[in-house]
């Protein structure tokens, strides 16, 4: 017997027709009078993640919202990831309610705002956030720079496919990540090695809402599941190598020679190789450079 039923797909299907786990973020933008506006958004996801000269997020929102109108006007955005705290989530729900002006919604805001240090006309960032992405809307894609603020009753066609005004009431913004800011303890965890106790407490929005409530789940301690890397898994080595130092890269052939390193020691070995490469003035570790580095590693090992 089929255990699944066919549910009708309607507008806002992620809320009305499904249970869809999403992040809880506060999007900062700059209003006409220069004041930072905070709006609560869950439809904010990684977009360009590799292989391009930039990294980017995708934000979806109502085109009449304060956030959309502000992005159309001056392009800069802060994506603030708030920790799991009931009072923060309650305030995020309040900030997500449509129809209020920036002055009205921000008058008694419970979050603390800090000035951006990135320069230019940028929104302030949320002090309580555990990390913040400072971004700029890439309005060159699809000639989205032609889209202007001001149409609060809906936009008429033609519409963009993926960037700018995409429907009468909708907008998509591809946000180039200019800077990732993260609290010091989480920075140390990412650079030095993450354990379950190092993860920030994050709320997960279930997506589904009814006429009365938003629903979310409180944070629980994350559970690790070991990646069963096998000898010959070049992609695992490449993945780890790309995350050691942006100024030193490994060729695929060099990574292929490192597949026998046990997974548990891989990061430490790659880090040591990168450090030696920088001492030797090597920016690309190929097979020849790998030989030089391994010789140096053996020499250092003999000295211990």
Q: Which residue numbers in the chain have pLDDT < 50?
A: none
Q: Which two tokens stand for residue 106?
A: 């921000």
| Paired tokens of 145 | 């720079």
Q: How far apart are CA 122 and CA 101, in angstroms?
A: 19
pLDDT per position as a tens digit, 227-250 = 665 555 888 899 999 999 999 999
Q: Tens of pLDDT along 28-54?
A: 999 999 999 999 999 999 999 988 889
What are the C-alpha distances in Å from 275 to residues 114, 179, 231? Answer: 35, 24, 25
Interval 142-181: pLDDT, tens? 999 999 999 999 999 999 999 999 999 999 999 999 999 9
Q: Are 245 and 267 within 8 A, CB to CB?
A: no
- The strand ranges marked E within the chain are 22-23, 25-30, 36-41, 44-48, 56-62, 76-81, 113-114, 125-126, 131-137, 164-165, 170-182, 204-209, 214-217, 249-250, 284-285
């Amino acid at each position: 017997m089929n255990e699944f039923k066919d549910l009708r797909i309607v507008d806002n299907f992620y809320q009305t027709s499904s249970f869809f786990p999403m992040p809880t973020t506060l999007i900062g933008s700059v209003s006409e009078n220069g004041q930072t506006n905070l709006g609560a958004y869950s439809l904010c996801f990684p977009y360009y993640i590799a292989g391009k000269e930039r990294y980017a997020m995708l934000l979806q929102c109502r085109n009449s919202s304060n956030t959309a109108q502000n992005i159309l006007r001056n392009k800069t955005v802060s994506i603030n990831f708030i920790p799991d705290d009931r009072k923060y989530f309650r305030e995020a729900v309040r900030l997500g309610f449509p129809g209020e002006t920036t002055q009205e919604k921000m008058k008694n805001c419970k979050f603390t705002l800090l000035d951006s240090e990135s320069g230019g006309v940028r929104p302030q960032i949320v002090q309580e956030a555990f990390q913040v992405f400072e971004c700029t809307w890439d309005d060159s894609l699809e000639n989205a720079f032609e889209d202007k603020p001001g149409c609060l009753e809906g936009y008429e066609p033609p519409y963009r496919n993926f960037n700018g005004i995409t429907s009468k009431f909708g907008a998509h913004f591809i946000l180039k990540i200019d800077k990732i800011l993260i609290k010091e303890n989480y920075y140390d965890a990412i650079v030095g090695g993450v354990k379950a106790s190092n993860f920030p407490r994050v709320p997960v929005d279930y997506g589904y809402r009814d006429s009365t409530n938003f629903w979310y789940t409180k944070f629980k301690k994350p559970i690790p599941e070991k990646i069963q890397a096998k000898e010959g898994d070049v992609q695992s080595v490449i993945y780890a190598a790309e995350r050691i130092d942006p100024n030193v890269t490994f060729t695929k052939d060099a990574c292929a020679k490192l597949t026998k390193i046990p997974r548990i020691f891989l990061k430490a070995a790659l880090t040591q190789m990168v450090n030696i490469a920088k001492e030797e003035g090597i920016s690309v570790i190929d097979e020849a450079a790998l030989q030089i580095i391994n010789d140096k590693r053996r020499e250092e090992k003999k000295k211990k």
